[in-house]
């Protein structure tokens, strides 16, 4: 049986999240953009973090943005380096 | 013909991005159709985005991207930096946006991170 429980639309921990295609278990109900980057093992200054939510736009997460993992469809994240060099 | 792997296909589909996989002169590519451009920046509101896939993709990342129609900045009225050269592909002449980032994580990066690079380059075009 899953350790992740649902009560109505609100889930209880531990929370099973996916960061850059890899599964992680997170005990707290909130996770920040910076914590996502740390789980991904990327340079937090050079990389961005997004939440992959239903719909056309991913949600860009600032380092101090908190995602409430108790809400539905909050469990998928990815990181990336979006900068490029001209020329 | 389909050569994108499932994670890419799933991402593009989930975001409602219409795409076409093309092979031309031995080169594979993906065209993202009618992608919206940043508002009030260019002389077009949307463009197709061509991304050439290197033979090792997705273990190797794409380099640069290409637009059709060609777009100019509204202010000043000119092509953006390093975006005034053509590429002939698929019977069409594309606007090459010479933008590079050699950092690519095999098994992690894919269409979704490449699209973020394209969007960032368009938002910061000068």
Are the beta carbons of A26 and A15 closer than 8 angstroms?
yes
pLDDT band at A10 (very low <50, low <70, confident <90, very high): confident
Average pLDDT, chain B: 97
Q: B89 vs chain A: nearest CA distance in angstroms? A: 20
Of B15, B99, B113, the CB nearest to A86: B99
- pLDDT, tens digit, for every residue of B31-58? 999 999 999 999 999 999 999 999 999 9
CA distance B104 to A87: 19
Phi and psi (nearest 5°) for B116? -65, -35
What's the whole-model pTM score? Answer: 0.93
Q: Which residues contact A29 (CB under 8 A, 6 or more apart)?
A: A13, A15, A68, A69, A70
Question: Residue A8 — pLDDT band, cuts 50, 70, 90?
Answer: low
CB < 8 Å to A61, chain B: none
What's the token pair of residue A16? Answer: 């099973």
- Extract the tokens encoding A20: 């850059």
**Residue A23 touches chain B, beta carbons under 8 Å:** no
Query: Region A56-79: what's the mean pLDDT?
Result: 95
* Mean pLDDT score, B106-123: 97
- Which residues 31-70 in chain A show a CB within 8 A of chain B? 48, 50, 52, 54-58
CB–CB contact A80 B82 (8 Å):
no
8 A C-beta contact, residue B27 and residue B6: no
CA angle B92, B94, B100 (to 5 degrees): 145
The partner residues of B87 in beta bridges, in order of sequence, read: B94
């Amino acid at each position: 049986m899953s350790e992740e429980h649902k009560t109505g639309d609100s889930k209880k921990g531990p929370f099973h999240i996916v960061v850059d295609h890899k599964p992680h278990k997170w005990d707290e109900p909130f996770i920040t953009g910076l914590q996502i980057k740390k789980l991904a093992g990327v340079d937090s200054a050079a990389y961005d973090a997004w939440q992959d939510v239903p719909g056309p736009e991913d949600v860009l997460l600032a380092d101090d943005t908190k995602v409430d993992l108790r809400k539905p469809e909050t469990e998928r994240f990815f990181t990336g380096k979006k900068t490029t060099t001209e020329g | 013909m389909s050569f994108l792997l499932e994670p890419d296909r799933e991402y593009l589909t989930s975001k409602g991005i219409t795409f076409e996989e093309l092979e031309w002169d031995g080169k594979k590519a993906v065209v993202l159709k009618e992608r919206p451009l940043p508002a009030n920046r260019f002389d077009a509101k949307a463009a197709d985005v061509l991304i050439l896939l290197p033979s090792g993709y997705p273990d190797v990342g794409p380099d640069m991207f290409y637009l059709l129609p060609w777009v100019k900045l509204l202010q000043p009225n000119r092509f953006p930096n390093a975006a005034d050269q053509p590429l002939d592909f698929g019977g069409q002449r594309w606007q090459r946006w010479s933008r590079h980032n050699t950092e690519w994580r095999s098994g992690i990066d894919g269409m979704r991170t490449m699209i973020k690079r394209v969007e960032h380059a368009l938002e910061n075009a000068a």
